[in-house]
Amino acid sequence: MSREAILGRIRAQLKRGPLEPAQAAACDRRLAAAPAALLPRMAQFADRQALTAAFCQRLTAGGAELRRVTAWPAVPATVAAMLGPAGRPALGLAPALAMLDWAAAGLTVVPGPARPAQPAAITKAVAGIAETGSVVLASGPETPVTLNFLPDIHVVCLEAAALVASLEDGFGAARAGGLPRSITLIGGPSRTADIEQRMVMGAHGPRRLVVLLVGDHGG
Amino acid sequence: MTGSIADGPADFRRAAVAALADPALQQALGRNGFAQRRAQAIAALPEYPELRAAAAALKDHVLDHLDHYLERFAAAVEAAGGVVHWCDDAESAVAAVLGVARACGARTATKGKSMAGEEIGLNAALEAAGIRPIETDLGEYIIQLAHEPPSHIIAPASHKSMADVAGLFRAHHRDRPAERPLDQAEILVDEARTILRPAYGVAGLGITGANFLIAESGSAVIVTNEGNGDLTQALAPVHLVVAGIEKLVPRLEDAALLLRLLARSATGQDLTVYTTVASGPRRHADPDGPAAFHVVLIDNGRTALMGDARKAMLRCIRCGACLNHCPVYGQIGGHPYGATYGGPMGQVLTPALAGLGAARDLPQASTFCGRCAEVCPVAIPLPDLMRHWRDEIHQQALDPPRHRLALALWLWLARRPRFYRLAVRAASFGLRALARGGCLTAAPFAGGWTRGRVLPAPTGPSFFTQYRSGGNEP
Ligand code: SF4
């Protein structure tokens, strides 16, 4: 069987048999707990305020639009204002946000996975990473993945308290309740430089990424 | 046949000479902004040297325990409801993909960019089996239309001009008005987007590569800027990952370390726009995502590198920095290497994948300037590894008789210092006699070399003569 053949070739080349129990146990410990991370300075922050500021600056440098919103009830009106006429057709919505009053803001929403003609979708991130200026989206019953990629405009709601410093922290937040089937970090609108190395936005995924930072933790 | 090529360089020398004389290619090669963007990104990361050392150590640790981590990875994929296919070579990998495609009744397969897929000639095999492969990465889509292999591991269509792309789109997108303007990158990108969109929803199979495989969780990590890999894997009913066995890392946090180096080394970004960790098929209550998850693990010659120093080649994270900084690649582009992987990393990898006989010219095609090793984010000593192959080429007598004769002659001389000095003096005299204005534009036995370069004539007595006249004893 190929499995045994591949493992056999690896062992033959490394001039040993299967790992000794002690070595195997050491590898399994390595699998069970992450080693101390080597964090660059750009992933370390003096306080929440510096962390939040870095997230906002890096996210917008990546081409995303950012709005600060004081509390969840204000989210639908802010989304409606940001979308303008693009918000008129029915919008895709992560069921995780279905309890907000979208109708009051004049928006029609369809909770569930993305449908082909939806111009925009509104989803909820589990975390934001200040090191890279990315939002972290985890799949689940309340957060369909297709909403993140199909619509032209992707609106992401993110609780300010969910901002974290590093990539490691972002992954940690995403898997806090068990590893989701899919975790995606997104740092801006889709783009390509495949034609003569010219940067063009809107390659396959959303042309606009709008992030609503909810709550005023850390200013 | 589509973009794929069976790996095995045909005639590197002839192809390289042709590439040097191709004005369109030379113009395309002049558009390389990667090196500068990388330099800026690395300059903004003061911890780069420590991260680089840690990344190399991490990959070495995995390679030294690869059998164990592969078994743990496979167990984790299966625990998540996925299937692992262990494949010795390109044929068995292709057979595994076709098996999955047939079982799920796929008529079309969308594909995210996968160099492993190129390596095993997947597109040609899918077509032969009546399954239409649709490349969704814009660069890969362009070269699929052109029936060409990629010329760069991260910018596969970098040898094409905007006019080339416009010509391809006009020829292939027949339902569009013939006279439409196609003279801006934005228009071309938009046309590709509209053409490819419907494909995601109808494909029976979504194939991606993997930048990293995570042993603890059985996950596949992909990075893209376009989002095409995500559409491919989120919308197809079956997600199939094709990846080399060396892509493994123990934990997700280990991928974080490598992610800090990958995009910076590749395009000069801190991180690509999309980074996705996929673990198994759709779960019970998930409203979307693929219903099945397969991982095709490929050896295809990789284990052949694991017995000596060449094992370091398997640290490679496919960032492309060594290509972007190579003076040879910069002159000839990727196609003359005749394989999926061009440039310095390909010169070390291809002999293992395609066989040393077919690839014997590749380890020779280097000035040994060392820039590739310098910029490699996992510190692979690429020139040293090429030297390993050169040794092996000589030991197996795969080098041309002329080379062997010249080396034998040199060896004979080198063992006889008196003759050696005489020969040096004679050569020096001869070269000076042939020189015009201190330079030679043609030299005996070196016509190929002087065709593109000027050889400075020796200016005075040899080093040895000067050394001795300084009162030193040899
Ligand atoms: S050999 Fe190093 S520089 Fe070249 S592609 Fe691989 S990781 Fe990048």
pLDDT given at position B427: 85
Same domain flag for B90 and B150:
yes
Residue among A7, A167, A183 minimizing CB distance to B70? A7
State the DSSP H helix or E strand holding residue A154, giving kind and residue range, or none if neither. Answer: strand A153-159
Same domain flag for B352 and B419:
no
Scan for tokens 């370091």, then name that residue: B312
In whole angstroms, give the CA distance from residue A190 to residue A149: 9
Same domain flag for B294 and B338:
no
- Name the nearest CA neighbour of B109 among B135, B144, B84: B135
Pseudo-torsion of CA A197, A198, A201, A204, nearest 10°?
Answer: -40
What is the per-residue pLDDT across B148-172, written as a single tens digit (0 to 9) for each? 999 999 999 999 999 999 999 999 9
Q: Percentage of chain B surpassing pLDDT 90?
A: 76
Q: B396: which residues sit within 8 A by CB, 6+ positions away? A: B356
* Residue B13 within any structural domain of the chain: no
In whole angstroms, give the CA distance from residue A98 to residue A105: 13
Are B231 and A202 inside 8 Å of each other by CB? no
* Residue B18 within any structural domain of the chain: no
| A contacts of B300 (beta carbons < 8 Å) | none
Same domain flag for B326 and B287:
no
Same domain flag for B250 and B334:
no
| A contacts of B186 (beta carbons < 8 Å) | 200
A80 vs B472: which has the higher pLDDT: A80
In whole angstroms, give the CA distance from residue A109 to residue B37: 42
CB A200 within 8 A of CB A146: no
Query: Considering B298, B318, B334, which residue would you say is the last residue of a domain?
Result: B298
Instruction: Share the mean pLDDT of chain B.
Output: 92
Distance B175 CA to ligand 1 centre (A): 41
Same domain flag for B368 and B460:
no
What is the least distance, in Å, from the CA of B190 to any CA of chain A? 7
pLDDT given at position B474: 54
Q: Is a pLDDT exceeding 90 seen at residue B64?
A: yes
In whole angstroms, give the CA distance from residue A59 to residue A132: 7
Average pLDDT over residues B18-30: 91
Q: Is a pLDDT exceeding 60 seen at residue B3?
A: no
- Chain B interface mutation, best of A4, A194, A198, A200, highest count of B Cβ atoms under 10 Å: A194
- Give the residue, by CA position, lying nearest to ligand 1 atom 4: B322
Same domain flag for B251 and B374:
no
Query: Considering B364, B395, B426, which residue would you say is the last residue of a domain?
Result: B395
pLDDT given at position A170: 98
pLDDT given at position B465: 79
What is the per-residue pLDDT across B93-139, written as a single tens digit (0 to 9) for each? 999 999 999 999 999 999 999 999 999 999 999 999 999 999 999 99
B100 vs B179: which has the higher pLDDT: B100
* Residue B5 within any structural domain of the chain: no
In whole angstroms, give the CA distance from residue A67 to residue B245: 43
Q: Is a pLDDT exceeding 60 seen at residue B6?
A: no
Q: Is a pLDDT exceeding 60 seen at residue B4?
A: no
Q: What does DSSP say about strands A65-69 and A208-214: parallel, antiparallel, or unpaired?
A: parallel
pLDDT given at position A161: 96
* Residue B166 within any structural domain of the chain: yes
What is the least distance, in Å, from the CA of A170 to any CA of chain B? 10
Find residues 177-196 of chain A whose CB sits inside 8 Å of chain B.
Answer: 179-196
* Residue B11 within any structural domain of the chain: no
Q: Is a pLDDT exceeding 80 seen at residue B452?
A: no
- Name the nearest CA neighbour of B315 among B75, B52, B47, B69: B52
Say how many domains are in chain B.
3
Which burial class, exposed, middle or buried, applies to A90 when counting CB atoms under 10 A from its CB (0-12, 13-18, 19+)? middle
| A contacts of B253 (beta carbons < 8 Å) | 34-35, 37, 168, 171
Are A7 and B136 inside 8 Å of each other by CB? no
Here the CATH number for the domain that contains residue B132 is 3.40.50.10420
Angle at A75 between CA A74 and CA A76, to 5 degrees: 100
Is the pTM above the cut of 0.95? no
Are B65 and A19 inside 8 Å of each other by CB? yes
Distance B253 CA to ligand 1 centre (A): 21
Hey, what CATH topology would domain A42-214 get?
A: Rossmann fold (3.40.50)
Q: Is a pLDDT exceeding 80 seen at residue B9?
A: no
In whole angstroms, give the CA distance from residue A160 to residue A216: 6
Q: Is a pLDDT exceeding 90 seen at residue A175?
A: yes
Same domain flag for B50 and B181:
yes
Q: How confident is the model at residue A150 (pLDDT cuts 50, 70, 90)?
A: very high
Average pLDDT over residues A108-135: 95
Range in A29-38, B336-345, B425-434 with the lowest mean pLDDT: B425-434
Find residues 72-111 of chain A whose CB sits inside 8 Å of chain B.
Answer: 95
User: What ipTM was assigned to the predicted interfaces of this complex?
Assistant: 0.97
* Residue B402 within any structural domain of the chain: no
What is the per-residue pLDDT across A30-66, written as a single tens digit (0 to 9) for each? 999 988 889 999 999 999 999 999 999 999 999 999 9
Domain residue ranges of chain A, discontinuous segments joined by +:
1-33, 42-214
pLDDT given at position A51: 98
Angle at A176 between CA A173 and CA A180, to 5 degrees: 90
Same domain flag for B107 and B201:
yes
Instruction: Share the mean pLDDT of chain A.
Output: 95
* Residue range(s) defining the domain that contains residue B142: 32-298
Same domain flag for B294 and B311:
no
Nearest CA in chain A to B263: A132
Average pLDDT over residues B18-46: 93
Average pLDDT over residues B425-430: 85
In whole angstroms, give the CA distance from residue A7 to residue A4: 5
pLDDT given at position B264: 97
Q: Percentage of chain A surpassing pLDDT 90?
A: 88
Residue among A42, A141, A183 minimizing CB distance to B276? A183
Q: Crossing angle for the helix pair B401-414 and B417-434, nearest 10 degrees?
A: 120
Same domain flag for B196 and B254:
yes
Query: Considering B268, B298, B328, which residue would you say is the last residue of a domain?
Result: B298
Average pLDDT over residues B208-229: 97
* Residue B131 within any structural domain of the chain: yes
What is the per-residue pLDDT across B271-323, written as a single tens digit (0 to 9) for each? 999 999 999 999 999 999 999 999 999 999 999 999 999 999 999 999 999 99
- Give the residue, by CA position, lying nearest to ligand 1 atom 3: B376
Give the distance from CA B85 to its chain's centroid.
24
pLDDT given at position B435: 82
Same domain flag for B68 and B211:
yes
